Structure 1
Amino acid sequence: MSKWSVVHTVTFLQDAYMIKSYLESAGIETLIPDEFTAQVNNFYTTAIGGVRLMVRTEDLESGVALLKEGGYINPENSVTDEEILIVGADSSTDMTCCPFCGSANIGKRNTPGMAMVILYFLLSALFPIFRSANKCFDCGKIWKFKKIRQ
């Protein structure tokens, strides 16, 4: 019996089906273990970490190469777990610029908190409970301002 490895994870089941058909057209056998969970309720995919697409371990390298070639995996824009830095701020701090590189090309990054994940799972409802952080699009750093008491 052969072992299976996760080749890609997506948010929506229809994306997993597209990738599955792309890999199977190249002769790589695939498996979607979270298929029925995602069919029951789309919001469960966030709670379980996405819909996993698996290939046989011996086909993993060729599967990743095919996904890069097909544009399903983009190594330059891959999402990684980044550390949120805490930056001290007082009344004179310019919060419209990145404190690390000085760029004004910043934006808000909203991530769901643990309460959001629990609400997704228990109530299958979307509530706007997000934790906000700033992200610089030039240097890639993510931070929060924390007020310093003087």
Structure 2
Amino acid sequence: MADRFVTIATFNDVTEAHIVKGRLEAEGILCFLGDEHIVGAQPFYSVAVGGVKLKVTAQDAEEAQAIMAKIHGGTSEYLYDDDLEMAPPMQEHVPARTCPNCGSDNVSEEKYNKTVFSLSYLLLGFPVPFRSRKFICYNCGHFWKDK
């Protein structure tokens, strides 16, 4: 037997409709958006088609409206699982190079020789990537080659 869908809210903005839809789905309510693609492609048609329609099954309509009333009233709380596994802490970035002149770690590697790159583009019409392992310090402006 097919479920009957009921429109419980309309929105002029597709983004707002997706936010509410996501919240209802997080609560376990099956819902769909009607006319979302028309309004997304042509936002000025929103009034003509009646906006983006949030549809839920008939048996979930009362629960969905109660959740939406909590959302619009500002009293909405979402209970999180205490059994969720936390992500591991991020490792600190260790710079690969330091400037031999000033000891700064604000350095960058220049992988290609800019002079050869530019001249080949002017003369041949396409750039030739000539590898160069030079480093530059942005604090003191020192250039050096990798050994």
| TM bucket, shorter chain | 0.3 to 0.5
Give the number of the structure whose alpha-carbon radius of gyration is greater.
2
More strand by share: 1
Q: TM-score, normalised by structure 2?
A: 0.47
